[in-house]
Structure 1
Amino acid sequence: MNKDFKKMVELALDEDIGTGDVSADLLIDKQIQATIICREAAVICGIEFAQMAFLSLNKDIKIKWLVKDADQVKPCEQLCRLSGPSKAIISAERVALNFLQTLSAVATQTRFLVDKIKHTNTQLLDTRKTLPGLRSAQKYAVKCGGGVNHRMGLFDCIMLKENHIIAAGGIAKAVEKAKKQNPDLDLIVEVETLDQLSKALTLSGITRVLCDNFSQQDLLKAVSMSAGKLPLEASGNIDASSIVGVAETGVNFISTGSITKNIQAIDLSLRFT
């Protein structure tokens, strides 16, 4: 298992169980069977997290998964069957379901938006607007939903936003310093006007231009101005009602934080059988 994912599960179990599950301690520890059921249509994600949550408490728990990550399921569909000691299964239940519910929510919302723009060549990107401590997990869920990962953090790609540009004394100076200091990193420049885009298109070393809060009319002009010289990314207040129109302008990418932060947990339940 990915070391980041393993750490997330370990922290979640420690947070939930602490010094011990005082409710589970009331039970007679007997062998039981259980199922996890999805109560609504969803794209499933988080199986590895749930698996580790159970097995971390007792390696004798047997789990037969009936689906895999990125599978689309129908309401009331079984995700897996479990058998093993009742205490360990009950103690791991909430952590396992929390990961499954949250990551499946990200994958489901991502798939929903990806399907809306599948008739275009635009790719859907995530952002850094993730739940603290769960970034790599949520970005994995975005991929399960058919989206594409943006930069992981502040370390693996340079993005010059409005405050960077102001502090540097303009786009040209900011780009020059960025390429001099980190020549091997991708460089994304955010612009807020067509005039700023025009300036960015004259500079070398830029990987992509992010058009922030452009109207669809201005995005059409931006695509025409760029003429394929640089990939364009649209971002800012893009949701299910506007994403199709934005994609149809011809931009290469759309980024939105909604797929990782404006989510509603998928309804799952674990029941003894």
Structure 2
Amino acid sequence: MAVATSASKWPTTWFNTFTTKSRLFTVNADKAVCDAWQLPKSAPVNAVPKAPVYVVGGDHDPTTPARTAGPAARAIPGARFETFPGSHAVFLTSACARKHIAEFVEAPGGVPPKPCEPDPGRPPTLRLADTHVTGAPYRISQAPWLAVPFALFALVSLVQLGAGALRGRSVTAFAGLAGVAFAGLTGQAVYGMASRNETALAVGVPASVGGPYTWIAVASAVLSVAALFHARRWPHIVAAVAGAGFLVWWFTWFL
């Protein structure tokens, strides 16, 4: 985040160019603005700002990490750069960051404040390695219906678990158990991340969701297909189709 911004010593690349279908909603939003305004490609210009510049960032920010924000700030004459414990948008999660920003706005040329002291009551910082970068959670927060495949998979798994257990169909029961376990673990992990850092879901989900938990969902879908081959009845067809469809949605859109 930069309280005052300008360009300075940009790399020799073209502006207004974006990778297609980025996992970060911020990149897609910027691209949408440039497309809507029909902004042409432009060459970089070594502009030097006259306004004081204060750049802040989280030490574990996956979108604008300190390793890139720091050099950008130092390329601006007289700019001040400071990192705070946290992920993206530290002004929302760090009281010390908000205090320093307010002091800079009030007196841009004042003496830089002392570094923030560690907060013993603060939850552990989310590291970049803890995050699987994807813009899907943010998009779901804007349009909850996009999460229908997840809800449908969880519902079908619950029905499989109950029906399989009552009728003694072990493969169906284990398929449902795996699906319910995946939904529960994923929900718990996402809730835990949101509790630790309310802005983290804007850039991704816990790494465990994109890793080991995903393979539990794969196991559920495979068992559903196995149950279908054992008894080709419409409930098994529905479960197999729901599992396969969910995995397509999960791997191609969510992750």
Task: Tell me if TM exceeds 0.5.
Answer: no
TM-score, normalising length from structure 2?
0.23
Specify which structure has the higher proportion of strand.
Answer: 1
- RCO (CA 8 Å, sep 6+): is it higher in 1 or 2? 1
Larger Rg: 2
Specify which structure has the higher proportion of helix.
Answer: 2
